[in-house]
Chain A
Amino acid sequence: MSIDQLQKDLVAQLEAVKPIPRPAIIVVVWSLLCFPSIIFTMTMVDDFRVSWTEQLISSPRFLLEFLFGVISAPIAAFAASYIGTPQEPKKLQKAAIIGVGIFILFLSMTLWSVFNPALPPSSQGARPHCVYETFLYSLWPLGLMVFALRHHRSYFPKSSAALYGIAATMPTSSMMHIACKYEPLHILGFHILPVLVMSFVLIGIHRKVIKML
Protein backbone atom coordinates (compact mmCIF):
# COMPACT_ATOMS: atom_id res chain seq x y z
CA MET A 1 0.00 0.00 0.00
CA SER A 2 1.40 3.43 -0.87
CA ILE A 3 1.53 6.28 1.60
CA ASP A 4 -1.01 8.25 -0.45
CA GLN A 5 -3.47 5.37 -0.27
CA LEU A 6 -2.88 5.01 3.46
CA GLN A 7 -3.55 8.72 3.96
CA LYS A 8 -6.83 8.42 2.03
CA ASP A 9 -7.85 5.39 4.10
CA LEU A 10 -7.04 7.11 7.39
CA VAL A 11 -9.01 10.20 6.38
CA ALA A 12 -11.95 8.05 5.30
CA GLN A 13 -11.90 6.18 8.61
CA LEU A 14 -11.61 9.32 10.71
CA GLU A 15 -14.10 9.56 13.56
CA ALA A 16 -14.42 12.15 16.27
CA VAL A 17 -12.62 11.23 19.47
CA LYS A 18 -12.87 12.80 22.88
CA PRO A 19 -9.45 13.97 24.08
CA ILE A 20 -8.31 12.28 27.23
CA PRO A 21 -8.81 14.35 30.39
CA ARG A 22 -5.87 16.18 31.83
CA PRO A 23 -3.82 14.26 34.43
CA ALA A 24 -4.81 16.57 37.29
CA ILE A 25 -8.49 15.86 36.75
CA ILE A 26 -7.94 12.11 36.54
CA VAL A 27 -5.94 12.17 39.77
CA VAL A 28 -8.48 14.26 41.68
CA VAL A 29 -11.38 12.00 40.69
CA TRP A 30 -9.33 8.86 41.27
CA SER A 31 -8.21 10.03 44.72
CA LEU A 32 -11.74 11.01 45.72
CA LEU A 33 -12.98 7.56 44.75
CA CYS A 34 -10.12 5.57 46.28
CA PHE A 35 -9.13 7.08 49.58
CA PRO A 36 -12.57 7.38 51.24
CA SER A 37 -13.60 3.90 50.12
CA ILE A 38 -10.36 2.35 51.39
CA ILE A 39 -10.60 4.17 54.72
CA PHE A 40 -14.23 3.12 55.06
CA THR A 41 -13.42 -0.53 54.30
CA MET A 42 -10.49 -0.56 56.70
CA THR A 43 -12.61 0.87 59.52
CA MET A 44 -15.27 -1.73 58.84
CA VAL A 45 -12.73 -4.55 59.15
CA ASP A 46 -10.94 -3.25 62.23
CA ASP A 47 -10.44 -0.01 64.15
CA PHE A 48 -7.56 2.32 63.49
CA ARG A 49 -4.85 2.59 66.13
CA VAL A 50 -6.35 4.41 69.12
CA SER A 51 -3.61 6.99 69.60
CA TRP A 52 -3.03 7.93 65.97
CA THR A 53 -4.35 11.48 66.20
CA GLU A 54 -2.22 12.29 69.23
CA GLN A 55 0.82 10.77 67.56
CA LEU A 56 0.32 12.83 64.41
CA ILE A 57 0.10 15.99 66.48
CA SER A 58 2.94 15.24 68.87
CA SER A 59 5.49 13.85 66.43
CA PRO A 60 6.31 16.03 63.41
CA ARG A 61 8.48 13.28 61.91
CA PHE A 62 5.65 10.78 62.16
CA LEU A 63 3.34 13.32 60.57
CA LEU A 64 5.85 13.85 57.77
CA GLU A 65 6.19 10.09 57.19
CA PHE A 66 2.43 9.74 57.00
CA LEU A 67 1.99 12.70 54.68
CA PHE A 68 4.69 11.49 52.31
CA GLY A 69 2.99 8.12 52.23
CA VAL A 70 -0.39 9.68 51.48
CA ILE A 71 0.83 12.01 48.73
CA SER A 72 2.95 9.36 47.04
CA ALA A 73 -0.20 7.68 45.71
CA PRO A 74 -1.74 10.66 43.85
CA ILE A 75 1.67 11.80 42.66
CA ALA A 76 2.39 8.34 41.23
CA ALA A 77 -1.08 8.35 39.64
CA PHE A 78 -0.42 11.78 38.15
CA ALA A 79 2.91 10.64 36.76
CA ALA A 80 1.31 7.49 35.28
CA SER A 81 -1.32 9.64 33.58
CA TYR A 82 1.25 12.20 32.42
CA ILE A 83 3.60 9.71 30.80
CA GLY A 84 0.64 8.09 29.06
CA THR A 85 0.56 10.97 26.63
CA PRO A 86 3.37 11.38 24.07
CA GLN A 87 5.37 14.48 24.89
CA GLU A 88 8.95 15.66 25.01
CA PRO A 89 10.96 12.76 26.45
CA LYS A 90 12.64 14.93 29.10
CA LYS A 91 9.28 15.94 30.54
CA LEU A 92 8.18 12.31 30.61
CA GLN A 93 11.39 11.27 32.33
CA LYS A 94 10.98 14.01 34.94
CA ALA A 95 7.40 12.93 35.62
CA ALA A 96 8.41 9.29 36.03
CA ILE A 97 11.31 10.20 38.31
CA ILE A 98 9.10 12.39 40.50
CA GLY A 99 6.38 9.75 40.63
CA VAL A 100 8.79 7.09 41.83
CA GLY A 101 10.93 9.52 43.80
CA ILE A 102 8.26 10.50 46.32
CA PHE A 103 7.66 6.83 47.11
CA ILE A 104 11.40 6.25 47.49
CA LEU A 105 11.53 9.21 49.86
CA PHE A 106 8.77 7.61 51.94
CA LEU A 107 10.65 4.29 51.84
CA SER A 108 13.87 5.99 52.92
CA MET A 109 12.17 7.68 55.85
CA THR A 110 10.80 4.32 56.98
CA LEU A 111 14.22 2.69 56.61
CA TRP A 112 15.70 5.47 58.72
CA SER A 113 13.00 4.81 61.30
CA VAL A 114 14.42 1.32 61.78
CA PHE A 115 17.46 2.94 63.41
CA ASN A 116 15.78 6.07 64.72
CA PRO A 117 12.01 5.55 65.04
CA ALA A 118 9.72 8.57 64.91
CA LEU A 119 7.62 6.97 67.67
CA PRO A 120 8.40 4.30 70.27
CA PRO A 121 7.67 1.04 68.47
CA SER A 122 4.79 -0.88 69.99
CA SER A 123 2.21 -3.53 69.15
CA GLN A 124 -0.67 -1.19 69.86
CA GLY A 125 -3.25 -1.36 67.06
CA ALA A 126 -1.79 -4.43 65.38
CA ARG A 127 -4.03 -5.72 62.58
CA PRO A 128 -3.73 -9.49 62.17
CA HIS A 129 -4.10 -9.49 58.38
CA CYS A 130 -2.60 -6.14 57.41
CA VAL A 131 -0.46 -7.53 54.57
CA TYR A 132 -3.44 -9.26 52.95
CA GLU A 133 -5.50 -6.12 53.37
CA THR A 134 -2.77 -4.08 51.66
CA PHE A 135 -2.79 -6.39 48.66
CA LEU A 136 -6.55 -6.83 48.51
CA TYR A 137 -7.48 -3.17 48.83
CA SER A 138 -5.02 -2.24 46.08
CA LEU A 139 -7.11 -4.02 43.46
CA TRP A 140 -9.86 -1.40 43.43
CA PRO A 141 -7.54 1.60 42.86
CA LEU A 142 -5.62 -0.43 40.30
CA GLY A 143 -8.75 -1.34 38.36
CA LEU A 144 -9.94 2.23 38.51
CA MET A 145 -6.64 3.53 37.22
CA VAL A 146 -6.49 1.01 34.38
CA PHE A 147 -10.01 2.08 33.38
CA ALA A 148 -9.23 5.81 33.66
CA LEU A 149 -6.04 5.50 31.60
CA ARG A 150 -7.32 2.99 29.07
CA HIS A 151 -7.03 5.46 26.18
CA HIS A 152 -3.55 6.57 27.15
CA ARG A 153 -0.52 5.45 25.14
CA SER A 154 2.50 5.11 27.36
CA TYR A 155 5.79 4.81 25.51
CA PHE A 156 7.53 3.89 28.74
CA PRO A 157 5.45 0.85 29.67
CA LYS A 158 7.69 -0.46 32.42
CA SER A 159 7.79 2.93 34.16
CA SER A 160 4.02 3.14 33.79
CA ALA A 161 3.60 -0.32 35.29
CA ALA A 162 5.76 0.60 38.29
CA LEU A 163 3.78 3.81 38.80
CA TYR A 164 0.50 1.90 38.59
CA GLY A 165 1.77 -0.43 41.31
CA ILE A 166 2.82 2.40 43.60
CA ALA A 167 -0.37 4.39 43.05
CA ALA A 168 -2.63 1.38 43.60
CA THR A 169 -1.01 0.07 46.78
CA MET A 170 0.11 3.23 48.57
CA PRO A 171 -3.36 4.43 49.65
CA THR A 172 -3.76 1.35 51.85
CA SER A 173 -0.09 1.23 52.79
CA SER A 174 -0.13 4.86 53.92
CA MET A 175 -3.32 4.36 55.93
CA MET A 176 -1.75 1.37 57.65
CA HIS A 177 0.72 3.88 59.10
CA ILE A 178 -2.09 5.06 61.40
CA ALA A 179 -4.29 1.98 61.33
CA CYS A 180 -1.82 -0.76 62.24
CA LYS A 181 0.99 -0.93 64.79
CA TYR A 182 3.97 1.41 64.51
CA GLU A 183 6.99 -0.85 64.28
CA PRO A 184 9.39 0.07 61.45
CA LEU A 185 10.43 -3.46 60.51
CA HIS A 186 6.79 -4.53 60.46
CA ILE A 187 5.92 -1.52 58.31
CA LEU A 188 8.70 -2.38 55.85
CA GLY A 189 7.78 -6.02 55.60
CA PHE A 190 3.99 -5.90 55.76
CA HIS A 191 2.96 -2.47 54.50
CA ILE A 192 5.67 -1.38 52.06
CA LEU A 193 6.86 -4.69 50.64
CA PRO A 194 3.42 -5.27 49.06
CA VAL A 195 3.94 -2.00 47.15
CA LEU A 196 7.20 -3.29 45.71
CA VAL A 197 5.73 -6.72 44.99
CA MET A 198 2.75 -5.21 43.21
CA SER A 199 5.01 -2.92 41.14
CA PHE A 200 7.31 -5.74 40.08
CA VAL A 201 4.40 -8.03 39.24
CA LEU A 202 2.87 -5.31 37.06
CA ILE A 203 6.21 -4.70 35.36
CA GLY A 204 6.39 -8.41 34.65
CA ILE A 205 2.93 -8.67 33.14
CA HIS A 206 2.63 -5.24 31.53
CA ARG A 207 2.97 -6.57 28.00
CA LYS A 208 0.04 -8.95 28.44
CA VAL A 209 -2.07 -6.19 29.97
CA ILE A 210 -1.29 -3.84 27.09
CA LYS A 211 -2.32 -6.53 24.60
CA MET A 212 -5.59 -7.07 26.49
CA LEU A 213 -6.32 -3.36 26.44
Chain B
Amino acid sequence: MIATTLHRYSFPLGLYTKVRYLLVLSNHLGSSSMSQTKQPRVHWQQWMVSAQEGDRQAYESLLKEITPVLASYVTNKVGFLGYTEDIVQDILLSIHGARQTYQAGRAFEPWMFTIAKRRVIDHLRLAEKNSRWDPWDDQTHTPELCAPNPHLEALQHAMVNIPDKYREAIQLTKIQGLQLDEAAQQMGLTVSALKSRCSRAYQMLRKIIEKSL
Protein backbone atom coordinates (compact mmCIF):
# COMPACT_ATOMS: atom_id res chain seq x y z
CA MET B 1 0.00 0.00 0.00
CA ILE B 2 2.78 2.36 0.90
CA ALA B 3 4.71 1.58 -2.29
CA THR B 4 1.60 2.08 -4.41
CA THR B 5 0.85 5.32 -2.63
CA LEU B 6 4.38 6.61 -3.00
CA HIS B 7 4.38 5.70 -6.67
CA ARG B 8 1.30 7.84 -7.09
CA TYR B 9 3.26 10.92 -6.17
CA SER B 10 5.70 10.59 -9.03
CA PHE B 11 5.83 14.18 -10.18
CA PRO B 12 8.70 16.65 -9.70
CA LEU B 13 7.80 17.48 -6.12
CA GLY B 14 7.24 13.82 -5.34
CA LEU B 15 10.09 13.61 -2.88
CA TYR B 16 8.66 16.44 -0.79
CA THR B 17 5.22 14.86 -0.82
CA LYS B 18 6.63 11.45 0.06
CA VAL B 19 8.41 12.89 3.06
CA ARG B 20 5.23 14.62 4.23
CA TYR B 21 3.22 11.43 3.78
CA LEU B 22 5.77 9.42 5.75
CA LEU B 23 5.60 12.00 8.52
CA VAL B 24 1.80 11.61 8.63
CA LEU B 25 2.16 7.83 8.78
CA SER B 26 4.82 7.97 11.46
CA ASN B 27 2.62 10.18 13.59
CA HIS B 28 -0.17 7.65 13.30
CA LEU B 29 1.91 4.52 13.77
CA GLY B 30 4.07 6.03 16.50
CA SER B 31 3.30 6.43 20.16
CA SER B 32 -0.46 6.31 20.38
CA SER B 33 -0.58 8.28 23.64
CA MET B 34 1.58 11.01 22.12
CA SER B 35 -0.51 11.11 18.96
CA GLN B 36 -3.67 11.24 20.99
CA THR B 37 -2.52 14.06 23.26
CA LYS B 38 -0.76 16.22 20.65
CA GLN B 39 -2.71 15.40 17.44
CA PRO B 40 -5.78 13.45 18.46
CA ARG B 41 -7.28 13.29 14.96
CA VAL B 42 -4.26 12.72 12.77
CA HIS B 43 -5.70 9.28 12.01
CA TRP B 44 -8.44 11.03 10.04
CA GLN B 45 -5.74 12.23 7.62
CA GLN B 46 -4.45 8.70 7.15
CA TRP B 47 -7.95 7.29 6.72
CA MET B 48 -8.75 9.91 4.12
CA VAL B 49 -5.61 9.11 2.16
CA SER B 50 -6.51 5.42 2.35
CA ALA B 51 -10.05 6.20 1.21
CA GLN B 52 -8.64 8.02 -1.81
CA GLU B 53 -6.95 4.74 -2.70
CA GLY B 54 -10.23 2.86 -2.35
CA ASP B 55 -9.82 1.43 1.16
CA ARG B 56 -13.44 0.95 2.22
CA GLN B 57 -12.69 -0.06 5.78
CA ALA B 58 -10.76 3.12 6.41
CA TYR B 59 -13.50 5.17 4.75
CA GLU B 60 -16.17 3.55 6.88
CA SER B 61 -14.21 4.28 10.05
CA LEU B 62 -13.70 7.86 8.93
CA LEU B 63 -17.38 8.45 8.18
CA LYS B 64 -18.42 6.92 11.50
CA GLU B 65 -16.11 9.23 13.43
CA ILE B 66 -16.77 12.47 11.58
CA THR B 67 -20.57 12.14 11.46
CA PRO B 68 -21.24 13.00 15.12
CA VAL B 69 -18.73 15.86 14.90
CA LEU B 70 -20.56 17.24 11.88
CA ALA B 71 -23.94 16.72 13.55
CA SER B 72 -22.77 18.68 16.56
CA TYR B 73 -21.43 21.46 14.33
CA VAL B 74 -24.68 21.75 12.36
CA THR B 75 -26.80 21.64 15.50
CA ASN B 76 -24.78 24.40 17.12
CA LYS B 77 -24.92 26.63 14.07
CA VAL B 78 -28.32 26.11 12.46
CA GLY B 79 -30.18 23.65 14.64
CA PHE B 80 -33.14 26.02 14.58
CA LEU B 81 -33.77 25.07 10.96
CA GLY B 82 -35.03 21.75 12.28
CA TYR B 83 -33.47 19.38 9.74
CA THR B 84 -29.97 18.76 11.01
CA GLU B 85 -29.85 15.20 9.73
CA ASP B 86 -30.62 16.31 6.17
CA ILE B 87 -27.80 18.84 6.29
CA VAL B 88 -25.36 16.32 7.73
CA GLN B 89 -26.23 13.87 4.96
CA ASP B 90 -25.66 16.61 2.41
CA ILE B 91 -22.27 17.37 3.92
CA LEU B 92 -21.28 13.70 3.80
CA LEU B 93 -22.30 13.57 0.13
CA SER B 94 -20.24 16.69 -0.58
CA ILE B 95 -17.23 15.22 1.21
CA HIS B 96 -17.65 12.04 -0.82
CA GLY B 97 -17.79 14.02 -4.06
CA ALA B 98 -14.82 16.22 -3.19
CA ARG B 99 -12.48 13.60 -1.76
CA GLN B 100 -9.99 14.04 -4.60
CA THR B 101 -9.39 17.61 -3.42
CA TYR B 102 -7.91 16.50 -0.11
CA GLN B 103 -4.13 16.59 -0.25
CA ALA B 104 -2.04 14.25 1.86
CA GLY B 105 -0.05 15.87 4.61
CA ARG B 106 -2.53 18.70 5.14
CA ALA B 107 -4.81 18.89 8.14
CA PHE B 108 -8.09 17.08 7.55
CA GLU B 109 -10.37 19.11 9.82
CA PRO B 110 -10.05 22.49 8.05
CA TRP B 111 -10.80 20.70 4.77
CA MET B 112 -13.84 18.99 6.26
CA PHE B 113 -15.22 22.05 8.03
CA THR B 114 -14.80 24.26 4.96
CA ILE B 115 -17.03 21.88 3.03
CA ALA B 116 -19.46 21.70 5.96
CA LYS B 117 -19.65 25.46 6.32
CA ARG B 118 -20.42 26.02 2.65
CA ARG B 119 -23.15 23.41 2.68
CA VAL B 120 -24.69 24.96 5.80
CA ILE B 121 -24.70 28.37 4.09
CA ASP B 122 -26.31 26.83 1.01
CA HIS B 123 -29.06 25.36 3.18
CA LEU B 124 -29.63 28.67 4.93
CA ARG B 125 -30.12 30.38 1.58
CA LEU B 126 -32.34 27.62 0.31
CA ALA B 127 -34.44 27.71 3.46
CA GLU B 128 -34.92 31.43 3.10
CA LYS B 129 -35.80 31.09 -0.57
CA ASN B 130 -38.31 28.32 0.06
CA SER B 131 -39.76 30.10 3.10
CA ARG B 132 -38.92 27.14 5.30
CA TRP B 133 -36.96 29.40 7.63
CA ASP B 134 -39.80 30.86 9.60
CA PRO B 135 -38.93 29.84 13.12
CA TRP B 136 -41.88 31.50 14.74
CA ASP B 137 -44.42 29.59 12.69
CA ASP B 138 -44.96 27.05 15.43
CA GLN B 139 -44.13 29.36 18.27
CA THR B 140 -46.28 32.43 17.82
CA HIS B 141 -48.15 33.43 20.97
CA THR B 142 -46.27 30.83 23.03
CA PRO B 143 -44.39 31.75 26.18
CA GLU B 144 -41.74 29.14 25.25
CA LEU B 145 -40.38 31.68 22.79
CA CYS B 146 -38.83 33.49 25.70
CA ALA B 147 -37.53 30.35 27.40
CA PRO B 148 -33.85 29.44 27.09
CA ASN B 149 -33.41 27.62 23.80
CA PRO B 150 -29.92 27.16 22.37
CA HIS B 151 -31.30 26.85 18.87
CA LEU B 152 -32.85 30.29 19.09
CA GLU B 153 -29.77 32.00 20.53
CA ALA B 154 -28.31 32.59 17.10
CA LEU B 155 -31.59 34.11 15.96
CA GLN B 156 -31.94 36.29 19.03
CA HIS B 157 -28.40 37.58 18.60
CA ALA B 158 -29.13 38.36 14.97
CA MET B 159 -32.38 40.13 15.88
CA VAL B 160 -30.50 42.53 18.14
CA ASN B 161 -28.21 43.50 15.28
CA ILE B 162 -30.71 44.54 12.65
CA PRO B 163 -32.14 48.09 12.38
CA ASP B 164 -35.15 48.95 14.52
CA LYS B 165 -37.68 49.26 11.71
CA TYR B 166 -36.89 45.74 10.45
CA ARG B 167 -36.93 44.26 13.95
CA GLU B 168 -40.27 45.93 14.60
CA ALA B 169 -41.72 44.38 11.42
CA ILE B 170 -40.79 40.89 12.59
CA GLN B 171 -41.89 41.54 16.16
CA LEU B 172 -45.35 42.72 15.11
CA THR B 173 -46.00 40.03 12.49
CA LYS B 174 -44.26 37.03 13.97
CA ILE B 175 -43.89 37.51 17.70
CA GLN B 176 -47.04 39.44 18.53
CA GLY B 177 -48.89 37.64 15.75
CA LEU B 178 -50.67 40.60 14.24
CA GLN B 179 -52.28 40.21 10.85
CA LEU B 180 -50.41 41.90 8.03
CA ASP B 181 -52.94 44.70 7.61
CA GLU B 182 -52.98 45.41 11.37
CA ALA B 183 -49.21 45.50 11.55
CA ALA B 184 -49.00 47.66 8.43
CA GLN B 185 -51.49 50.11 9.88
CA GLN B 186 -49.56 50.29 13.14
CA MET B 187 -46.34 50.97 11.29
CA GLY B 188 -47.90 53.40 8.87
CA LEU B 189 -47.08 51.26 5.85
CA THR B 190 -48.95 49.53 3.07
CA VAL B 191 -49.24 45.75 3.26
CA SER B 192 -46.87 45.27 0.32
CA ALA B 193 -44.33 47.62 1.91
CA LEU B 194 -44.54 45.63 5.13
CA LYS B 195 -44.04 42.33 3.27
CA SER B 196 -41.02 43.83 1.54
CA ARG B 197 -39.64 45.00 4.89
CA CYS B 198 -40.10 41.54 6.44
CA SER B 199 -38.37 39.93 3.48
CA ARG B 200 -35.46 42.33 3.81
CA ALA B 201 -35.31 41.61 7.55
CA TYR B 202 -35.02 37.86 6.88
CA GLN B 203 -32.15 38.52 4.45
CA MET B 204 -30.33 40.54 7.09
CA LEU B 205 -30.84 37.85 9.72
CA ARG B 206 -29.55 35.20 7.33
CA LYS B 207 -26.41 37.21 6.55
CA ILE B 208 -25.69 37.80 10.23
CA ILE B 209 -26.06 34.11 11.01
CA GLU B 210 -23.86 33.21 7.99
CA LYS B 211 -21.13 35.49 9.27
CA SER B 212 -21.23 33.80 12.63
CA LEU B 213 -20.59 30.37 11.07
A: residues with CB less than 8 A from B are 1-3, 6-7, 10-22, 24-25, 84-89, 92, 151-153, 155
Contacts and interface: CB of A to CB of B under 8 A. Distances in A.
Interface in B53-112: 53-54, 56, 59-60, 63-64, 67, 85, 88-89, 92-93, 96-104, 106, 110-112
Given A16-B53, A87-B110, A153-B97, 17 more contacts: A3-B85, A6-B89, A7-B63, A7-B67, A11-B63, A14-B59, A17-B100, A18-B52, A19-B101, A19-B102, A19-B103, A22-B17, A85-B101, A85-B103, A85-B111, A86-B112, A153-B98
17 contacts: A1-B89, A3-B88, A6-B89, A7-B63, A10-B59, A10-B93, A11-B56, A16-B53, A16-B54, A17-B100, A18-B8, A85-B103, A86-B98, A86-B110, A92-B114, A153-B98, A155-B115
A14 B102 contact: no
B110 A14 contact: no
B104 A87 contact: no
Interface residues of B, number: 37
Contacts of B101: 19-20, 84-86, 151-153
Nearest to A84: B101
Contact of B114 (A3, A16, A87): A87
**Minimum-distance CB pairs A-B, first 6:** A16-B54, A86-B114, A17-B100, A88-B110, A155-B118, A153-B98
| Chain A interface SS verdict (over half) | loop
Given A14-B54, A88-B114, A155-B114, A19 B89 contact: no
A19 B67 contact: no
B60 A7 contact: yes
B115 A86 contact: yes
Contacts, number: 91
Contact of A14 (B8, B56, B64): B56
Interface string B113-125: 0110110000000
Contacts of B106: 87
B147 interface: no
A19 B52 contact: yes
A145 B102 CA distance: 19
B52 A17 contact: yes
Contacts of A151: 100-101
A90 to B, nearest CB: 10
Nearest to B98: A153
B64 A22 contact: no
A20 B103 contact: yes
B13 A16 contact: no
A3 B67 contact: yes
Interface in B17-76: 17, 51-54, 56, 59-60, 63-64, 67
